[in-house]
Structures are given as structure tokens and as C-alpha cells.
Structure 1
């Protein structure tokens, strides 16, 4: 791989969720990543769920962390690395003798990246959980979904990947810059709950100004506004409407043949009636017919695509947003970086050690 992180060496301790995605993103940016994984016979049911996509661009090295010889080899790799990333529960790496203090004693410049749901400290630090649990304690989950039903699981994009993986990546990159400037490594404690809190900053800011209610479907950006939500179409597909600004709202009304003089966009009392009117109108045509109808206008109306449809949508095709085998292409993009990521490979521990040994 080529990219801005070329020459940066990263040891990734294999795990589910955010570490795997973080390893992929860093490898896509050009870092040389070694993914240390359990021996094949000891692999857990979900270990290889990432497959060719989430495990791309880097080599997988089988390691038995119960083996003294393998542990010693891993220490050698860490000594030659710029970054270590792991997502075990607090204390696991320390019990292996691979905690931050031990690893930075081997390599003072090492950036030690850790990601967990609750963080390394606090009363929940040792508690198990998953994306939905972490998200539930941030306030963000409560704000999602319809007013008359429980909040829906919003995939695992927000806590695992937004608050976890992306915050881990940004922390690691900051640590690498600091290590190169000052010669000392950093310990990055990326807690998914902390990260989602940062991602939710806008809503905390709106709430502080009295502009956000804790009631679901009662706000500008949570489906409460009839001009910022999705609607069902005649064929069972959906259309996304995001006409927030008055100019865009006017274009929406024009496209729906509604007299703008009869509508006050920000009159909240009229929102339920306007939403019902929009629902009736959008139900009269198929999704793609509405998309074509609004194409080229400023109404901010677009189709809601399936994953399969997204891969062949003209915008994605023009930007080569997916690789020829259908995987998402690396993002963000950099001049001179490879557009197509490398495939996942396998490497023996001995070969990895030899490749990373000085000289």
C-alpha cells in the first residue's frame, strides 16, 4: 500500500468491532499493519466475520499468547512498532505482560491505542457490553426513532465505529505526530461512550439553548420536522427529504405542487398536518420516479438505497467508491495513494519477526 502513513508500523491485536475497522482504515492509509490473531484451532465463532473486507490491506499472523516463545516474539514486534492497538477488556493486556508500561519500556516512542466500550476507568470499566449498551448510556440512542416505539438499534455504526474506531484512529494519529515531535509515545484511551458524547456535541449545544427536546420525533433533525425525514413510496421504497433551509423547502413545495403561501415552514403546530400531507403525496409514486422528479432541483430529495443499490449508484460509480469486488474503497482519499486496497494476507510469526528485525 501507498499513502500518508507509509513507513508507520502497527501491531493490531485482533478483535471484534472497532479495532478491526481501525486497523483497516490505518492500513488503507498506507501503514504496515500486522494483525495478530488466535491460532486457527482456537478461533472464536465471530473472529473472521470481517473477512476479505475488514481484514484487507494487512497481514494476519497467528499467535498463541499462552506460549512464552510467541509472547517473546510479540514483544520483539512491539519493540519495532510505532503503534499498538487493542480492544480487550481492561487488565487483559497487563496480565499478559503487554500493558502500556511494559510495552513503552521496550519502546518509549510507542503509541499505545486502546478502545473499549466504557473506557479504562470508572465503575463500568470491567462490565461487558455491546454497541447498543454503550450507545444507550450516551443519550444518543434515546433521541432516535419514532415517538411511539422503543429506539431502534441503529446498526453498530455509532458507538462501535464512530465513537470507537474513528476516535481510536484520530487518537493514534495524534499520538504518532506527538511521538515524532517529542520522542515519547502516548497511551490513547478511546471509550465508545466518550466518543459518542463528542459526536453528540451539536445536540448538547442545541439543548443548552432550549432548542432540543428530549422527546423523540419532536425536533428539527430527529424526524419531527416534516421536511427532514423519510417517506414511504408507492412501491415500498423510501425517499429522503432534507429541505432544511427556506430556499430548499421552497423547491420541495414547488416539486410537490404546494402553494408556498399556504405553508409556514417553522410553525411547529402545523408540522403533523404537513407531514400527513407529504405522506399522502409521496405514496402516489414509486421511489425512483420521485428521485427522477426532483433530480437537478434544490429540494434535497434523494432515494434511500439498499447496500446493493449503493454500489452501482451513478455518484458512487463516478467516484469509484467501491472496488471491483464490491468492497467500499478507502476513504478519505489522498493524492498518490492506492485507490484499490491490498488483499488480506497470511504471514508466519517467524517471517513477521524477521521482516521487522533491525538491519
Structure 2
């Protein structure tokens, strides 16, 4: 039960969130992932609170099932080490700004000359080309420039700073994995690798989906609360008497009828289909009045046996305990050396053949340095020399 990606060997030069989340998915699905980490410049996720003992919970999660090789890429001997690794690890994942890996002698063309089967995935904010390619940015900036933030929020308060890193994860991480695996499939027939250029802004832009199709095809500009699915209709969140929230997604007539019956206003059912903004606003106000009459627990009880696309807004601790998420096994226990196992988010992808249980949480910088060097032919004396030269930190 090694996982469907057990044949893949990945050198991961990335830090922070996008690249590490991508390689986490690969490792969970069986790929052998070796992190190449600086022995002097710490990955900031390692010092990101909260901590479980002396370990960052984010680092422990994002880097589970991965080995770590500490390597000073500016050291002359580092090139030789990476070149030997690339002969076996024929996938590279990196997240530096464009040109940085080239300056280090580790760009795609240089490594491709050693291994033509190399698949080289670069995840950046704006991609390898264009006037913004060298510009710094964060998730919030990518969502802003892609246009997504312009219609995600409320008219009176503006765009929402999302609680999840949408461009980083849905953009960089997931699209990075898709591009990598597509290149692997292509290599099976051609024998050749390729460079996969992932821009988090590009990928965020592609998430416009229906709104983008509407604008490009029909000239309909999306804005806050002017669409059926962004607050422009009754499809929304409603505050309960105790200050909690209820999600109402009863778009189809059969669901709307059941919803309105449960809240005691069956006459409202026919108004859900109205395309007129002023009528939707009036309908929302009617629903708000009814939902505010009871606490969330009572609404949960009333809707428990009703299939109307109505669910409570749970906080994370409640979601962890929800029977549906528990039944799907979305929390797993990950072993730690000398300590009790740590609870972590599980791999969400289910395979009928199953997946190997998590092996370990994220490890210390260079925890596997000597082990990896032995595997590629270095003697104990050579390893000692590299340590003395501070190549390994």
C-alpha cells in the first residue's frame, strides 16, 4: 500500500505554503519527497505559531512524510550534490523568484542537460514572464490583481480577507500538482521532461469560472452582491438569535419550498427565482427576520431531517467533530519521534487501494542529510568533509 505515486522522486526546494502544500499531497500519495533546505536561512513556517511543544504545527503538517537535506546552495560543492540527486530524483519543485535558480546553476536548462527526463515545476506569484515576474507579492495581492477580490465581499465593507490562502493553495499548490502529474503522463509517452510554469495569479484568474465566462462572453461585470452566488440573492449566510450563522443554499424550487416551510413562511417560496435585485433584497430581509428568531441549535434540529441545502456555519473545533467529516477520516494521527502522535488534517483524496499511513511529521533541518548522501555514493569521510566545509550547515 505505497500509494499511486510511489514511483515518483521529488526534490523540493520550496518554502512557506504553496510548494510545501503541493509536495505534501505528493508525499501523502506515495511520492518520495526530499526537501532541500538552507542550513542558515530558516523556512519561516518552522517558526510560525502556534507550537506543539517546540515544533510549529504548520511545519509539522506541511512537511510530513518528507525527508530533509540541509544544503547551502551557494557553496561550490552544492552543485555536485544536486547533480547526483537529479540523476535519481527526476522531478524538481521550486518557488524562488524567476532567475534565482539559474544564478545558482540549478535552472531547468542546466539540470535538463544532466537528465532529459527532468520535470521542473516553478511556482511563483506572477510566472516566469511578464512585467510583474520579479515583483513581490502575497495571496491577498494575487486575489486583488486577478479580479477575484472585486466581487468577494460586501458593498458596505469591501473585499474580504479570506481565512484561507486561496491563491496559494487552490492556485499554486493544486495547479502545481496538476501540471506536474500531467508532465509525468506526457513523459511516459515521449521520454522527455519539461518545465511547468505555475503563476499563482494566473491560477487565481482561472478560478473566475462562471463570472469570467459571463464577463467575457456577455459583458456582465461581476461586482459585490450583484450575482446569485455572491450575496446578490437569498443564497447567503443568516445570523441566528445567538449570534451564530446559518448557510442557506436553497436555490432549486424544491429546496426553496422546503426551506420556506421550515421557517414558517411558505408564501416566500415563489420569490426565490426573481432576478430583480430589489426583490431579492426584500426577500433576504424577510428571511433574516425569521432566522433571527431562534438559536442555531434549534435551526439545526429543525433542518436535521430536511434536504433543503441548509447547514450551520461550524467553527473548526465543531467541524472536526462533525459525524460526516469523522466518517470520511479527515483527521489522522501522525507519529513523532519520542512523542505521542500528533493529530493532523488527513489527505482528502480517497483511493480504493488505500494509502500508506502517515510515517512522520515534519523533521528538523537536515535530519536526513547523511542518509541521503550515502544513498548517492558519498563515503563517511566525504560526508565529514562536507560538514566541516559547512556545506551541510
Shorter-chain TM-score: what band?
Answer: over 0.9
Gaps of 5+ in 2: 49-57, 334-341, 379-393
Contact 1:330/1:341, CA 8 A, preserved across alignment: no
Label 1:44 to 1:12 Cα distance change in 2 as closer, same or farther (>3 A): closer
Secondary structure in 2 matching 1:68: coil
* 1:266 CA drift (Å): 2.1
Residue matched to 1:264? 271
Assess if the C-alpha contact under 8 Å between 1:4 and 1:337 holds in 2. no
**Aligned residue in 2 for 1:355:** 375
Query: Does residue 243 of the first structure (1) align with residue 243 of the second (2)?
Result: no
Counterpart position of 1:27: 27
1:231 aligned to 2:238?
A: yes
> How many angstroms apart in 1 are the aligned matches of 2:290 and 2:7?
56
Distance (whole Å) between structure 2 residues aligned to residue 155 and residue 95 of structure 1:
36
- Report the Cα offset of residue 276 of structure 1: 1.1
Give the TM-score normalised by structure 2: 0.86
Return 5+ residue gaps in structure 1 as ranges: none
Moved more, 181-190 or 206-215: 206-215
The residue number in structure 2 matching 1:9 is 9
Note the C-alpha offset of 1:339. Answer: 6.1
> 1:313 offset after TM fit, Å?
0.7
8 Å contact kept, 1:57–1:342: yes
1:209 CA displacement: 5.2
Given the superposition, is the C-alpha separation of residues 64 and 145 from structure 1 closer, same or farther in structure 2, using an over 3 Å criterion? same
Rounded to whole Å, the distance in 2 between the matches of 1:328 and 1:80 is 30
SS at match of 1:289: helix
The question of whether the paired residues in 2 share the 8 Å contact of 1:115 and 1:168 is answered with yes
Q: 1:327 aligns with which of 338, 344, 349?
A: 344
- Structure 2 CA distance for partners of 1:306 and 1:212, relative to 1, 3 Å: farther
How many residue pairs match? The answer is 356
CA gap 1:262/1:18 in 2 versus in 1, 3 angstroms: closer
1:126 offset after TM fit, Å?
0.3
Query: Where do residues 211-226 of structure 1 align in structure 2 (5 Å cutoff)?
Result: 212-226=220-234
Is the partner of 1:137 in helix, strand or coil?
helix
- For the residue of structure 1 that corresponds to 2:248, the secondary structure is strand
The Cα shift of 1:17 comes to: 2.0
Moved more, 180-189 or 344-353: 344-353
Q: Give the aligned CA root-mean-square deviation in angstroms.
A: 2.0
1:8/1:234 CA distance change after superposition, 3 Å: same
